[in-house]
């Protein structure tokens, strides 16, 4: 009940913002560009090791990600280019955040970790591939939104990992959980990619058999 109340309250705030932006004539594409710009700032913060603040900025960036599509629909400004821009810049947002994490763990610092660098790289690669397979298969007539680790889940995991990392010297078991998050992101993204590829293969096989 408490969680549902928080969710409902948050949605009321978001819906109010959507109405205000739509009736104010704000372009959905401008919101999309602002969102990716904030994600770039998030990646820079990750690169400098400011994980906690990167998590806060990531929350703000994804607020804009929720706003642009809703503003477009409410204001009647849904366009093919807008959808293309949103999808394309989402990939940039995904990659720049992981790139910041890679830069941090690859640096000459006490937290340097080749393993974490590789995990972040694998997570970045297969996160993009999960999105690509969806877009490519939809272009060929198959909708493939399957798999347990899609973009919203990835963002939530990154926020959890970032917000837990604000005292590098602490041994408290709830602090500095980004390495564990990177394991989940790397393995989960790879598994989701494999699952999605298998699903698409079955769908195309069924279509060809039917034809």
Given a cut of 90, is residue 45 above it in pLDDT?
yes
CA separation for the pair 191, 179 (Å, rounded): 18
Burial (CB count within 10 angstroms: exposed 0-12, middle 13-18, buried 19+), residue 41: middle
Q: How many domains does the chain have?
A: 1
CATH no. for residue 47?
1.20.120.1760
- What pLDDT does 145 receive? 81
User: Could you tell me if 26 and 82 are in contact, meaning their C-beta atoms sit under 8 angstroms apart?
Assistant: no
Contact in structure between 197 and 133 (CB atoms under 8 Å): yes
pTM value surpassing 0.85:
yes
CA distance 129 to 113: 24
Query: How would you class 52 by CB atoms within 10 Å of its CB: exposed for 0-12, middle for 13-18, buried for 19 or more?
Result: middle
Contact 156, 177 (CB under 8 A): no
Closest-CA residue to 17 (of 56, 68, 55): 68
Q: Is the pLDDT of residue 36 over 80?
A: yes
Range of the domain at 117: 2-210
- Max CA-CA distance within the chain? 62
Least confident of 1-10, 17-26, 73-82, 174-183: 1-10
User: Considering only CA atoms, which of 176, 168, 188, 185 is closest in space to residue 119?
Assistant: 185
- The pLDDT tens digits of the residues spanning 165-202 come to 887 777 777 788 999 999 999 999 999 999 999 999 99
Give the DSSP letter of residue 175.
S
Do 82 and 28 contact (CB within 8 A), yes or no?
A: yes
pLDDT on residue 191: 94
Q: Which of 202, 60, 210 is nearest to 137 (CA)?
A: 202
- pLDDT tens-digit map of 71-117: 888 888 888 898 888 889 989 999 999 999 999 999 988 889 999 99
Q: Is the distance from CB of 147 to CB of 196 less than 8 angstroms?
A: yes
């Amino acid at each position: 009940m408490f969680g549902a109340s928080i969710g409902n309250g948050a949605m009321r705030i978001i819906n109010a913002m959507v109405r205000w932006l739509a009736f104010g004539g704000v372009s959905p594409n401008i919101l999309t560009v602002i969102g990716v710009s904030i994600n770039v700032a998030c990646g820079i913060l990750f690169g400098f090791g400011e994980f906690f603040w990167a998590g806060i900025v990531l929350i703000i960036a994804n607020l804009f990600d929720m706003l642009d599509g809703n503003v477009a629909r409410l204001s009647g400004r849904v366009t093919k280019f807008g959808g293309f821009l949103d999808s394309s810049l989402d990939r940039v947002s995904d990659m720049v955040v992981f790139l910041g994490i890679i830069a941090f763990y690859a640096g000459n610092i006490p937290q340097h970790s080749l393993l974490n660098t590789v995990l972040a790289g694998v997570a970045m690669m297969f996160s993009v591939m999960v999105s690509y397979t969806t877009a490519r298969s939809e272009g060929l007539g198959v909708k493939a939104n399957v798999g347990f680790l899609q973009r919203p889940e990835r963002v939530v995991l990154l926020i959890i990992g970032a917000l837990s990392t604000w005292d590098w010297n602490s041994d408290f078991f709830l602090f500095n959980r980004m390495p564990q998050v990177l394991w989940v992101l790397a393995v989960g993204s790879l598994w989701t990619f494999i699952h999605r590829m298998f699903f698409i293969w079955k769908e195309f096989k069924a279509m060809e058999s039917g034809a």
